[in-house]
Structure 1
Amino acid sequence: MSQKLGRICIIDDDKIYVNLVSKIIKMRALSDEILIFKNGKEAIEFFVQALPGNQKEIFPDVILLDLNMPIMDGWEFLQEFQKIKDQIVESYSLYVVSSSIDSRDVDRAKAIDFVRDYLTKPIKIKDFERILSN
C-alpha cells in the first residue's frame, strides 16, 4: 500500500468501531486526516456547507458510511447526498460499511450509482488495501 489518501470520512455512531478504524488508518499512515461524524445529519450538513467554492481541503477522498445510526441513518444520508453529489467537483469514493449481511441491504446499496462498494464490519486491512488500489 504505497498510495496515501488526503482525507477519510467516517460516518458512524459506534465509538468502538470508529476508534478501531481510526487507529488502523493512523497506524498504517493511510491518510493525512480523518473526519468523523456520528450520524448522517452531521455529515450532510458539513458537506452542504462546504459546497460553495468546493474547497478541496474539505472534501474527503473516501467516505465510509454506516447504515444504522440515530437521527439520520445511512439510507437517509444517501438520499440527501444524491441531491448534492453533482455539485461536488472533487473525486471521492463512498463505501457503505455495515454489520448487516442482509442481501437486500447489499443489493440496495450497490444499486446506487455513487456507492463504490458494500463492506461488512469489521472492516479489515485487506478492505483498506482494496480501497487504496481503486
Structure 2
Amino acid sequence: MKFNNVFVVDDDKIYHFLIKKLLSSNNIEVSPFFFENGLEAIDGIKDKLDKGENPPDLILLDINMPVLDGWQFLEEYKKIKEYIKKEISIYIISSSDNSMDRNRAKEFEEEITNYYLKPMTSDAIKSIFAI
C-alpha cells in the first residue's frame, strides 16, 4: 500500500525529529503531519473530511500523551470511522512493552494494523512502508 499523508501523533518533539530523519534517510516520500495529542489528530482528520480532503493513509500513534491519549484517540476514531471512505492504517508506536497495553491493543484489532516499540528503527519504518 502506498502511503502519502501520514499523521504522527506523539507529544515528544525529539520523536517527531527522528521520524523525519528516518523517512528521509530511507527515501520515503510522504507528507507527514505532526500532532502532540490525540485530540489534535482527531480534529485534523475531521478538518480534512470537512474540507473534502483526503484523510491520512497512515497514523503512527503513541499511547501515552496529554489531553487525549492513544486509547482515547482510538475510541474517538471508532466514532468517526464510518464517515471515512478509505482504510487508514494505524500503527501503535509506544515505549510500553507492558502486557496490559498489548492486550488492550487487541480490543482495537479492527483499527490497529500493528504495534511497534520505540525507539523506531530503519527496519521498522521499512516494514511499515513495505520497502
Q: Give the TM-score normalised by the residue count of structure 1.
A: 0.88
Alpha-carbon distance, 1:89 to partner: 1.0
Q: For residue 24 of structure 1, give the secondary structure of its aligned residue in structure 2.
A: helix
Alignment partners' CA distance in 2, 1:15 and 1:43: 15
Q: For residue 116 of structure 1, give the secondary structure of its aligned residue in structure 2.
A: strand
Say if 2:118 is the partner of 1:121: yes
Letter in 1 for 2:37: N
The one of 95, 107, 111 equivalent to 1:111 is 107
Alpha-carbon distance, 1:18 to partner: 1.2
Q: Stretches of 4+ moved more than 3 A in 1?
A: none
Say if 2:123 is the partner of 1:130: no
Q: For residue 97 of structure 1, give the secondary structure of its aligned residue in structure 2.
A: strand
* Gaps in structure 1 of 5+ consecutive residues: none
Alpha-carbon distance, 1:119 to partner: 0.6
Alignment partners' CA distance in 1, 2:2 and 2:70: 26
Q: For residue 50 of structure 2, give the secondary structure of its aligned residue in structure 1.
A: coil
2:45 and 2:56 in contact (8 A); partners too: no
Q: Give the TM-score normalised by the residue count of structure 2.
A: 0.89
RMSD: 1.8
Name the count of aligned residue pairs: 130
- 2:97 matched residue in structure 1: 101
Instruction: Show CA shifts across 1:14-47 (max 9, x none).
Output: 1111111111112222133110000111111111
Alpha-carbon distance, 1:53 to partner: 6.0
Give aligned-pair identity as a percent: 38
The 5 Å alignment of 1:63-102 reads 63-102=59-98
1:4 and 1:31 in contact (8 A); partners too: no
Alpha-carbon distance, 1:110 to partner: 3.0
Alignment partners' CA distance in 2, 1:127 and 1:115: 16
